[in-house]
């Protein structure tokens, strides 16, 4: 399986049979090099309903006739935009043509501000935030989404042999580097990648320092460059 880091929390997964993109925040992302029109995929995975994770999901899904996999509320919301969706709930899993996806607990919020022209509406809340445990081609990947450090990660590590974990390190909105190192200790993945950092001023971090901190705990980390592909 090939995995390409597209910046922020967005990754492209190329399995033996299908291509998936998760949290496709490309437009208005100052670090993104790819554009929505560049993406070819069969499924679009969205961890939660914040603008920097829903991102270009609708445009990419429409262009590719792809199915969006997300929480029930986000899936219902995006289905109203005319895209195919598959709704899920926290703790639930489903076998897709490429493999299995399970929604995991994430301690975070999920919501969208109203349209600028709609001065009467309040913030639009769209269900619970989630992480995703993805199993394909004999590999298990964990994308934590946006989350605080949680003891539930210990359970994920005990019950699953995780080949790759993608953990936010930006702090301020999610766990920071120190908590992410503890999360990796809980999860015990073969490889950990940092995400959700440096896109905005609030979340400036040094990914190399995070990788070094992992090494002091006997854990393997890697901070891929934007556009870099890793084979796992």
pLDDT in tens, 151-198: 999 999 999 999 999 999 999 999 999 999 999 999 999 999 999 999
> What's residue 193's pLDDT?
98
Where residue 40 sits, what CATH number does that domain have? 3.60.15.10
- Token pair for residue 112? 């969208």
Alpha-carbon distance values, 115 to 53, 109, 155, 166 (Å): 17, 19, 39, 31
> What's residue 127's pLDDT?
92
Helices (H), the chain: 51-54, 57-64, 72-79, 152-159, 177-187, 207-216
50, 112 in Cβ contact below 8 A? Answer: yes
pLDDT in tens, 99-157: 999 999 999 999 987 776 666 667 788 999 999 999 999 999 999 999 999 999 999 99
186, 154 in Cβ contact below 8 A? Answer: yes
pLDDT in tens, 19-77: 999 999 999 999 999 999 999 999 999 999 999 999 999 999 999 999 999 999 999 99
Q: How far apart are CA 211 and CA 217, in angstroms?
A: 10
Number of domains the chain is built from: 1
Domain of residue 17, residue span: 2-116+123-231
> What's residue 114's pLDDT?
73
- Token pair for residue 199? 């896109």
């Amino acid at each position: 399986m090939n995995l390409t880091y597209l910046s922020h929390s967005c990754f492209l997964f190329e399995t033996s049979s299908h291509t998936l993109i998760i949290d496709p925040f490309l437009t208005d992302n100052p670090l993104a090099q790819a554009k929505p029109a560049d993406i070819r995929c069969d499924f679009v995975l969205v961890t939660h309903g914040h603008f920097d994770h829903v991102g270009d999901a609708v445009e990419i899904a429409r262009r590719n006739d792809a199915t969006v996999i997300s929480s029930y509320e986000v899936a219902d919301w995006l289905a109203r935009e005319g895209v195919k969706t598959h709704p899920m709930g926290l703790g639930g899993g489903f076998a897709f043509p490429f493999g299995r996806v399970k929604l995991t607990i994430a301690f975070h919020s999920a919501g969208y501000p109203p349209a600028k022209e709609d001065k009467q509406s309040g913030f639009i809340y769209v269900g619970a935030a989630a992480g995703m445990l993805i199993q394909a081609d004999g590999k298990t990947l964990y994308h934590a989404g946006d989350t605080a450090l949680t003891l539930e990660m210990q359970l994920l590590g005990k019950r699953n042999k995780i080949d790759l974990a993608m953990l936010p390190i930006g702090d301020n909105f999610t766990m920071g580097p120190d908590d992410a190192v503890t999360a990796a200790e809980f999860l015990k993945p073969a490889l950990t990648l940092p995400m959700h950092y440096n896109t905005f001023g609030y979340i400036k971090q040094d990914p190399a320092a995070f990788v070094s901190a992992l090494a002091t705990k006997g854990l393997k980390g890697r901070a891929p460059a934007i556009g870099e592909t890793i084979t796992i």
